[in-house]
Amino acid sequence: MKLQAQTLACERGGRQLFQGLEFTLTGGEAMLVTGRNGAGKTSLLRIICGFIEPTCGRIRLHDRPEACSIGQLCHYVAHEDAIKSALTVRENITFWARFFGAGDVEAGLAAFGLGPLAACNAGLLSCGQKRKLTLSRLKLVNRAIWLLDEPATGLDATAQHRLCRHMTHHLAAGGIVIAASHTQLDAPFTVTLNINDLSAGMT
Amino acid sequence: MFTAIIARDIRLILRQGGGAGMSLGFVLTVIVMIPLGIGPDHEVLSQIAPGIMWIALLLSVLLSADRIFRADYEDGSLELMGLGVLPLELVVLAKAVVHWLTSALPLSLTTPLFGIFLNLDPSLFSTLGLAMITGSATLSLMGCVGGAVTLGLRRGGLVISILILPLYVPILVFGLSASVGSMGADHVFNTSFLMLIAFALASVVLCPVAAAGILRAHFR
């Protein structure tokens, strides 16, 4: 599997965010995307999973494992938590497990140690616990590409360590990880992409 | 996957409220107000009863159409559903089914009973109910399109009314004719009712495609 970006350019609201962005990632490689606020990190992730059309260039996936779109091979962890506060932790996880198709609820609960909170109302969770609940989707079903947008926000040291361990396992299994983060993550990133260098009209 | 969305949304509506109970309450208030405003003339009330019921149904379906996608859009769930194996069109269809089950269907089943307030001819109960059940499927599906269009707007509910109510006119016309037609010539009920079914079938196919296209545009 090979994920390739060719001369990507992105424009949001009439402002050119970046242009000439290129990278190639094969299975087992991880890329850390850095850049100042508003540089286009989130936009890049959203281009990869197909929500935004780039103004120029394209994303290609060679040797895809299944015949489906790139988005359907992605786990996208966005800023929004996609948690229903009226449901319990287990019900939230069970829904996404069923929606993504035959997901492993217990593996999801265990991924960030949410087992003891399973019967708890998700609305009562703290910010960091909500983040854990969001991230536990990563372990529900196996998807080849992980797109993580500021995954470590609100996580304590133990949870950050767990996240990095999950990322390492995913890479060892031949997956691809692309993470946008300001904080230093301990995962074995093979490539670092600084979007600041690609922004148009910046001195 | 399809049933997962339906089961979760029904559970959410049961826990958070705002489903059938609210719509029924709304219709009840409207129908109780009418005799007060028009006066207790049995003849007049009996004549306008089916029309009032249909209009009450349209308005209450519109009231809740604003909420079909909003919560899921704001917390990011809808976006994730766009990355599922299930096509977004079927996600929309599942949402429409939930909306129909929780607001339009309970109304269609009970509204003829509210007809007692309006001196509705009891012989119309079954035809009116049947026409409402069929017609409301179209109302819910079109409501999904309206709900998708107005996602980005803060006061979406008002805009939906202006956008979607004109599209409800054919349903109102044929629905009313199907409801009261059985009083006169028998064939009127049949043709109008068949038209209602045709609208429902067409919107099952067209509305999810339209709404899913609009939702994808919102993800940009």
> B57 and B30 in contact (C-beta within 8 Å)?
no
Name the percent of chain B lying above pLDDT 90.
23
Measured between CB atoms, does B152 come within 8 Å of chain A?
no
C-alpha B102 chain-centroid distance: 10
Dump pLDDT digits (tens) for A158-176: 888 888 989 999 999 888 9
Where is average pLDDT lowest: A11-15, A184-188, B60-64, B93-97?
A184-188
- Sort out which chain B residues have CB atoms less than 8 A from A98's CB and list them: 1, 3-4
B207 falls in which pLDDT band (50, 70, 90)? very high
Residue window 85-124, chain B: list those with CB within 8 Å of chain A. Answer: 85-86
Candidates A71, A86, A98; nearest CB to B4: A98
- pLDDT for position A183: 79
Dump pLDDT digits (tens) for A35-78: 888 888 888 899 998 888 888 888 888 887 777 888 888 899 98
**Pairwise CB contact (< 8 Å): A84 & B75:** yes
**Pairwise CB contact (< 8 Å): A72 & B81:** no
The SS3 of residue A167 is helix
- Sort out which chain B residues have CB atoms less than 8 A from A71's CB and list them: 82-83
Where is average pLDDT lowest: A125-129, A143-147, B157-161, B166-170?
B157-161
What does the mean pLDDT of chain B come to? 86
Name the percent of chain B lying above pLDDT 70.
95
Query: Nearest CA of chain A to the CA of B73: how many Å?
Result: 9
Interface residues on A facing B, Cβ-Cβ cutoff 8 A: 46, 49, 51-53, 68, 71-72, 74, 76, 78-84, 86-87, 91, 95-96, 98-101
Mean predicted confidence (pLDDT) in A181-189: 80
Mean predicted confidence (pLDDT) in B43-49: 86
Candidates A76, A86, A98; nearest CB to B83: A76
Mean predicted confidence (pLDDT) in A7-18: 85
- pLDDT for position B177: 85
Residue A69: HSE in the Cβ half-sphere, 13 Å Cα cutoff: 14
Mean predicted confidence (pLDDT) in B25-38: 86
Triad B194, B195, B199: Cα angle to 5°: 120
Query: Nearest CA of chain A to the CA of B78: how many Å?
Result: 8
Q: What's the first-to-final CA gap in chain A, in angstroms?
A: 36
Dump pLDDT digits (tens) for A111-164: 888 888 888 888 888 888 899 889 988 888 888 889 999 888 888 888 888 889
- pLDDT for position A203: 37
Candidates A53, A87, A101; nearest CB to B12: A87
Dump pLDDT digits (tens) for A80-122: 888 888 888 889 999 999 898 888 888 888 888 888 888 888 8
Q: For residues B11 and B17, what is the distance between their CA atoms, to the nearest angstrom? A: 10
**Pairwise CB contact (< 8 Å): B79 & A82:** yes
**Pairwise CB contact (< 8 Å): A99 & B1:** yes
**Pairwise CB contact (< 8 Å): B83 & A68:** no
**Pairwise CB contact (< 8 Å): B82 & A72:** no
A202 falls in which pLDDT band (50, 70, 90)? very low
Query: Nearest CA of chain B to the CA of A130: how many Å?
Result: 12
Q: How far is CA B117 from CA A44, A45, A86, B37, B49, in A?
A: 59, 58, 37, 13, 9
DSSP string, A37-92: TTSSHHHHHHHHTTSS--SEEEEEEES-SSSS-TGGGEEEE-SS----TTSBHHHH
**CB-count exposure of residue B107 (10 Å: 0-12, 13-18, 19+):** buried
Mean predicted confidence (pLDDT) in B47-53: 87
B188 falls in which pLDDT band (50, 70, 90)? low
CA dihedral A178, A183, A185, A190 (to 10 degrees): 50
> A195 and A35 in contact (C-beta within 8 Å)?
yes
DSSP string, B132-200: HHHHHHHHHHHHHHHHHHTTT-TTHHHHHHHHHGGGGHHHHHHHHHHHHGGGS-HHHHHHHHHHHHHHH
Q: For residues A7 and B102, what is the distance between their CA atoms, to the nearest angstrom? A: 49
The answer, yes or no, to whether residue B173 has pLDDT greater than 80, is yes
**Pairwise CB contact (< 8 Å): B11 & A80:** no
What does the mean pLDDT of chain A come to? 85
**Pairwise CB contact (< 8 Å): B12 & A86:** yes
- pLDDT for position B91: 93
- Sort out which chain B residues have CB atoms less than 8 A from A99's CB and list them: 1, 4-5, 81, 84, 86
CA dihedral B63, B68, B70, B76 (to 10 degrees): 170
- Sort out which chain A residues have CB atoms less than 8 A from B216's CB and list them: 51
- Sort out which chain B residues have CB atoms less than 8 A from A12's CB and list them: none
B187 falls in which pLDDT band (50, 70, 90)? low
Q: What is the ipTM of this complex?
A: 0.86
- pLDDT for position B211: 93
Measured between CB atoms, does B81 come within 8 Å of chain A?
yes
Query: Nearest CA of chain A to the CA of B21: how many Å?
Result: 18
**Pairwise CB contact (< 8 Å): A101 & B85:** yes
The answer, yes or no, to whether residue B202 has pLDDT greater than 60, is yes
- Sort out which chain A residues have CB atoms less than 8 A from B17's CB and list them: none
- Would you state the structure tokens that stand for residue A146, as one six-digit string? 């992980």
**Pairwise CB contact (< 8 Å): A99 & B12:** no
